[in-house]
Each structure stands twice: as C-alpha cells, then as structure tokens.
C-alpha cells in the first residue's frame, strides 16, 4: 500500500484524456440539468449527484473493455456507466422512470443494469448498500470456472469489478466477498470510493481509523492500493495498476480512492450535518479543476476545453429532450416478467443475460410418466441420484454450500459427489449465507446453473436481501437479466424440534416475487420437481423436509433419468367425496393416517409446489366435496394455508357446507423436546378429529 503512487513499470493502457474530459463534463451536465430542471419539474423522483466521484469512475470505466468483464456499482455510479457506453438518453430516461432505459420505469433510475455486448456488462445493481459485493464475487468465480473447467478461452483476462462507498465496507456482503475473493484467488477488483460519509454518518463509525485500505494492508492474498481519487495522474496510475494486477491472474485487489461528495447524499439532503468549513474544504478537492489543470495546456487548449464542455451540455440537453418524449410504460404490462415467459409463437422470451438458456443450452427431452427402476429408495438417495445425473449431463451445473463437499452435507444428500465430479463442481463455502446466495447470483448471470445449499431454513435469514434481489431481477430489469438457480434447503422437524433447525416458514419465499417454490413429500416427486428446476429458467426454492428424507412413507422406486414434473400441478394422494384435505410436505402422511383413523372418504391433495400452487385442483375438489381442511406445519397466522382459505372462500363460498378450516402449529417456534414438539405439530389424532367435525357440520 502506498499513499504516493510511483510510476508503473508496466505500459498499461494509455489514458485517453480527451475522452475522460468529455465524459466527466457529460456527467456534470447531467447532474446540473436534473437539479435545475428535472427534479424541480417533478420529472425525477430520486437524484444522486456524482460530483467528486466522477473523474476516477470514468478512468476506471475506460479500462473495462474485455467482452467478459462485469462490473457492479451502486446508486452513485453513473459516470462509470456512461464510460461503458450507456446512452445519455437511456440514463436520463431511466431516472425519469420512462419506458425503455433499463427497467421500463420499474426501478429507481440510478439502480442501473446494462447488458453490454461490446465490453463490460453492468450487473443489475441493488438498492441495498453492500448487496453488490457477493454477486460480483460469484461472477469472478464463474470467470475462473469458464476458463479452467469448461476451457473457454474467451474468459482469459476477464475480471469482475465492484464499486462501493466507504460505508459499504461495514456490511456483511463486503466481508463475505472479500473472504471469497482472497481464499479462492478470484479475478476481482474492489473499488472503494471513500468520501467520508454514509449519508450523514461519519467514516469513523464505519471503519476503525477511517481507512479500509490501511486496515487491510496485511490481508492475505489481497493487493491493496490507496490514493487520491481527485488527482488525475495519481488516480490513473493506481487504477491502471489495480486492473493490470487482477487481469494478470495475480488475485484480487482493493483500491481505495479518497474523493469528496460535493453535494448531499441525494437531492433532498441539505448536508446540515456538515460544517461550513467541511463543505468548503471538500469543494477545494473538486477533481474537475484538477483535471483541467492536468490537460491544459499540455493536451488541450483553453478553447478546446471550453468546446468539449459546451458540446457535453448540448448533448445532455438533447438527451433530456429525447428522454422526456418517451412515454410511461403501459401499466397493464407491469405484471409481466416476474417469471420467465414464452412469446406468442411459444418460443421463450429470453433475458439478454443470465441463465443456462442464454448459453446454447437445450434441455433434454423429459417425460412426466415415471419409469420405476429397482427397489424403493429414500428421498436422500433420490435427490443425490438426480443431482448426480444432472451434473453428468450438464457441465455448467455446480453444487455448493457449507459442508457439502467431503462430508456430503449435514444430511448426507451430496455424499460422494465431490469425489466423482471434483472440488470445482461440488465444493464447500465459507460460513456466510449471504455469500452463498450472492455468489450464486453472479454465477447464474455468467451462464452457469448454481445449486447452493442452505443447511437449515432458519439459516437463510442472513441471505434474505440476496434472495429478494435475485427473485426480482427479471422483473426490475424488464427481462434484461435473470439469475436462475436452485436453492436446496432442508426444512421442518425431525426427531426433535428447536427454533433454529426446525423452522418451515415456506410462506416467506412464496411471498418473494420471482421465486418458484417446491415442497415434495416423497422420493418420486422430489426427483421430478428437482429435475424440472435444474433445467429451468427461473430461481427455485427446493425445500427438502428433514422428517421425510429417510421416512418409509416417502420411499419410491427411482422414476428414471427422464422423469420431470411440471410446477403448479397437485397430486391426488387419495380420492374421496366427503371432504377435501389440502396439504404438503411432512403433513401428507399424517393426513392419510388421519383419514384412515376417522374412517372418512377424504379427497387428499398434495400441492407439491407452493409457487405456483394448483388452485384449480383445490377449487375443483372443494366444489365436489363441499368441505375443506388445510393442514400445514408452519404457524397459523399468515401461513400459506391462509392464502388457500382466502381463495376457497372467495371463489367457492356457495359450494361450501362447512367453514373452511385450518390446522397448523400454534404461533410459536418449534419446541425442542419431542413431547413438546409433537404437542405443537398437527397430529394424526387432531387432524382426524378435525375431519370428523367438518364432516358432521
């Protein structure tokens, strides 16, 4: 680490200072027209000035020319974006929320994405601070996978770059990505713009000593650079050195550049928390006058500088006019692209970047009819065998998580897969659920099929932001990006319960737009649903109930390597005319036993998938039996059974001869002792009693 950079011995990339001046002037003109016209005219709702950050970002962006480079920024990253080639009218139109741009008005205009066929793509940014780090690390890991495992030389020299402010280095995502990048020696550049404030919170509350580069100077496996982002020559040298280090395959680098934030956090921020002296000192560090001094008169004359500035203002004014003429997107279309879609001709409407289907992948033929092979196997074996086959036929598929490698997973599902396919395809991760899901996002955007495992349902909570961002990606980019993956997650009780390992709470994922959710109750369905998920074009939560992994009732013969089930189709467990019982997961076997105990001809439906769920089958059953009982393991209040009950009451009310009923756990975490746990779970006896009550009603 050095505060005063020395001239780099490498030739590097010659800086096109004329282009730097032009782009910085465009950025300044965009800030100005937004602040003076578009925000006061109520045409822009969120505005974030990049003044002070702009010059160094432009210098960085001009280095990102490799077609397989990817960069993920944040809300103050527009100068870097326009240096990649983002059209000014698209940038302004996005800020105005108009049709076109980068989200068709669905996302905040400063939350960019940019599928770029001619250079670095801008990965879909997120509104959450620090959420950009782990997806970028995943993309960098995918670069290495494409190079080393798939042998794709097009990825030679490609890098992943992530931008963040000084406050973002306090987040979990930053530290998780740093761990990934250094332990795996990833081609990743951390670019930290330190302006001393996280909105109003000063840097000393974010980082001890207020300098993350100094703190990380001895971090193993990381090249650390530090300097002044307002000094043109120094910033150019440091950026060139950092990029060259990562491109050469020498591992990750972190570059911290000190820059001033010359305006408030956003347009509404008056900066009253800063003293007059502080603001004056920041303006004295404005990189624009320093840039002018650097290029005039040695490279540009005063008149040439003035001409570039005038041209930038004119270009931005024209772009603003073009953007303002764009309409608001059709509100009737705003519900599209939550999930992948087909066009009128039946062909998929593919996203521009992300997923297997954009990588010349054609799913092999499948059959919904099982072809039973051999003896009955448990769900553990069925899931393992399905993963085994899909790993064999799809070299872009990777399985990873905590302890999934040599140990084979804490539930034994991945046992032996690393030995067979190697540690680059089946591998352990650091202990960070945000890192597990975040890296999967980056891998999926890079055209792989990641299959991350979260050990227990409760452990997914630290990854909630990444889960949400992944699910909304297709929608918020208007089908420009998507990150299909399959998240395997054990849920529910086993021999005992507890608040940490026995949670179900599947409704949280159903309530996360963009996620398909599967909850199989037996080995055959697990095979069919998992295969569909692994060959699909949407993110899937695949919930593996712990109590059913080795349950005798869940065992089935292996249904064949071509067997795949569609999502949203319930399975009729048994047919009857007295009452409809709607359930899934571990409650299926209990509902069957309860129907036998009650001596009632129950029509039992196993939903199998909760997003989408088979409302048509449920309504048809209820209209035939005129009674409905919903049984699930999750707590009652706002559990998924409430949604089913609401739909039945809304659409089949006149067909009912009894109230719609639910039987669930009480609103408590799962108790630990088996007797307490069984008291809380819907038991066979209580289900049978409820069935009898409803039939007699």
Residues with catalytic roles:
501
How many angstroms separate the CA atoms of 515 and 518, rounded?
Answer: 10
Peptide bond between residue 297 and the one before it cis (omega within 30 degrees of 0): yes
User: Tokens for 316?
Assistant: 């931005």
CB-based contact 164:133 (threshold 8 Å): yes
How many angstroms separate the CA atoms of 474 and 488, rounded?
Answer: 21
Q: Is 279 exposed, middle or buried (0-12, 13-18, 19+ CB in 10 A)?
A: middle
The single-letter DSSP state of residue 682 is: -
The single-letter DSSP state of residue 185 is: T
**Helix/strand/coil (H/E/C) assignment for every residue in 9-66:** CCCCCCCCHHHHHHHHHHHHHHHHHHHHHHCCCCCCCCCCCCCCCHHHHHHHHCCCCC
The tokens 């996280």 sit on which residue? 198
User: Tokens for 222?
Assistant: 């990381």
- State the DSSP string of 91-111: HHHHHTT-SSTTTTTSS-TTS
**Helix/strand/coil (H/E/C) assignment for every residue in 323-352:** HHHCCCCCHHHCCCCCCCCECCCCCECCCC
From 563, 534, 542, 516, select the one nearest 397 (Cα to Cα).
534
Q: Which residues contact 280 (CB under 8 A, 6 or more apart)?
A: none
- What b/e string do you get for 445-454 counting C-beta neighbours within 10 Å, with b at 16 or more? bbbbbbbbbb
For 190: left if phi > 0, alpha if psi spans -120 to 50, otherwise beta; the answer is beta
Beta pairing partners, 227: 257
CB-based contact 353:481 (threshold 8 Å): yes
CB-based contact 645:662 (threshold 8 Å): yes
From 498, 448, 528, select the one nearest 155 (Cα to Cα).
448
Backbone angles phi, psi at 318, to 5 degrees: -65, -40
For 205: left if phi > 0, alpha if psi spans -120 to 50, otherwise beta; the answer is alpha
Q: Is 42 exposed, middle or buried (0-12, 13-18, 19+ CB in 10 A)?
A: exposed
Backbone angles phi, psi at 460, to 5 degrees: -75, -15
In 422-496, where does DSSP find H-type helix?
Answer: 433-445, 464-476
How many angstroms separate the CA atoms of 576 and 621, rounded?
Answer: 9
User: Tokens for 507?
Assistant: 């409704």
Residues in the chain: 697
How many angstroms separate the CA atoms of 53 and 282, rounded?
Answer: 12
Peptide bond between residue 612 and the one before it cis (omega within 30 degrees of 0): yes
């Amino acid at each position: 680490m050095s505060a005063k950079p020395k001239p780099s011995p490498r030739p590097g990339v010659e800086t096109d200072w004329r282009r730097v001046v032009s782009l910085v002037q465009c950025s300044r003109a965009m800030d100005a027209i937004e602040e003076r016209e578009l925000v006061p005219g109520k045409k822009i709702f969120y505005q974030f000035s990049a003044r002070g950050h702009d010059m160094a970002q432009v210098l960085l962006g001009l280095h990102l020319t490799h077609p397989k480079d990817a960069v993920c920024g944040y809300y103050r990253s527009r100068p870097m974006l326009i240096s990649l080639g983002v059209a000014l009218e698209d940038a302004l139109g996005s800020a105005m929320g108009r049709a076109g741009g980068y989200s068709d008005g669905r996302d905040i205009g400063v939350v960019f994405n940019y599928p770029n066929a001619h250079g670095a793509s801008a990965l879909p940014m997120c509104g959450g601070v620090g959420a950009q780090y782990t997806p970028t690390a995943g993309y960098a890991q995918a670069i290495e996978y494409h190079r080393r495992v798939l042998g794709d030389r097009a990825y030679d020299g490609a890098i992943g770059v992530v931008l963040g402010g000084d406050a973002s280095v306090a987040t979990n995502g930053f530290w998780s990505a740093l761990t990934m990048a250094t332990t795996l020696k990833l081609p990743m550049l951390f670019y930290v713009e330190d302006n001393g404030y996280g909105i109003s919170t000063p840097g000393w509350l974010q980082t001890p000593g207020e300098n993350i580069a100094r703190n990380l100077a001895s971090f193993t496996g990381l090249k650390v650079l530090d300097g002044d982002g307002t000094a043109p020559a120094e910033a150019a040298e440091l950026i060139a050195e950092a990029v060259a280090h990562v491109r050469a395959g020498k591992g990750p680098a972190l570059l911290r550049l000190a820059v001033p934030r010359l305006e408030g956090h956003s347009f509404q921020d008056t900066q009253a928390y800063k003293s007059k002296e502080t603001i004056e000192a920041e303006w004295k560090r404005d990189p624009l006058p320093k840039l002018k001094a650097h290029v005039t008169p040695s490279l540009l004359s005063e008149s040439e500088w003035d001409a570039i500035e005038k041209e930038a203002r004119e270009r931005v004014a024209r772009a603003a006019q073009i953007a303002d003429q764009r309409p608001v997107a059709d509100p009737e279309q705003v519900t599209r692209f939550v999930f992948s879609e087909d066009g009128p001709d039946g062909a998929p409407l593919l996203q521009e970047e992300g997923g297997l289907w954009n990588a010349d992948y054609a799913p092999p033929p499948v059959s919904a009819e099982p072809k039973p092979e051999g003896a009955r196997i448990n769900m553990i074996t069925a899931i393992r065998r399905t993963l085994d086959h899909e790993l064999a036929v799809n070299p872009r598929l990777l399985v990873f998580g905590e302890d999934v490698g040599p140990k084979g997973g804490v539930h034994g599902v991945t046992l032996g897969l690393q030995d067979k396919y190697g540690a680059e395809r089946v591998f352990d991760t650091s202990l960070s659920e945000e890192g597990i899901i975040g890296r999967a996002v980056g891998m999926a955007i890079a055209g792989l099929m990641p299959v991350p495992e979260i050990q227990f349902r409760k452990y997914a909570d630290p990854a909630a932001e990444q889960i949400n961002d992944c699910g909304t990606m297709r929608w918020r980019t208007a089908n420009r990006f998507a990150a299909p993956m399959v998240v395997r997650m054990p849920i529910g009780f086993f021999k005992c319960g507890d608040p940490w390992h026995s949670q179900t709470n599947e409704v949280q994922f159903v309530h996360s737009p963009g996620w398909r959710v599967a909850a199989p109750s037996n080995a055959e369905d697990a095979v069919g649903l998992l295969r569909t998920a692994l060959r699909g074009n949407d993110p899937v939560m695949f919930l593996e109930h712990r109590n059913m992994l080795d349950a005798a009732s869940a065992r089935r013969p292996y249904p064949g390597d071509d067997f795949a089930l569609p999502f949203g189709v319930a399975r009729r467990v048994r047919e009857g005319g007295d009452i409809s019982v709607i359930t899934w997961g571990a409650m299926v076997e209990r509902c069957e036993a309860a129907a036998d105990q009650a001596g009632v001809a129950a029509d039992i439906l196993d939903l199998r998938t909760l997003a989408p769920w088979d409302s048509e089958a449920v309504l048809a059953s209820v209209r035939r039996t005129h009674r409905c009982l919903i049984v699930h393991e999750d707590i009652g209040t706002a559990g998924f059974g409430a949604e089913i009950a609401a739909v039945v009451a809304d659409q089949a009310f006149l067909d009912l001869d009894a109230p719609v009923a639910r039987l669930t756990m009480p609103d408590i975490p799962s108790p630990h002792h088996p007797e307490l746990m069984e008291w809380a779970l819907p038991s066979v006896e209580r289900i049978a009693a409820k069935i009898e009550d409803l039939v007699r009603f």
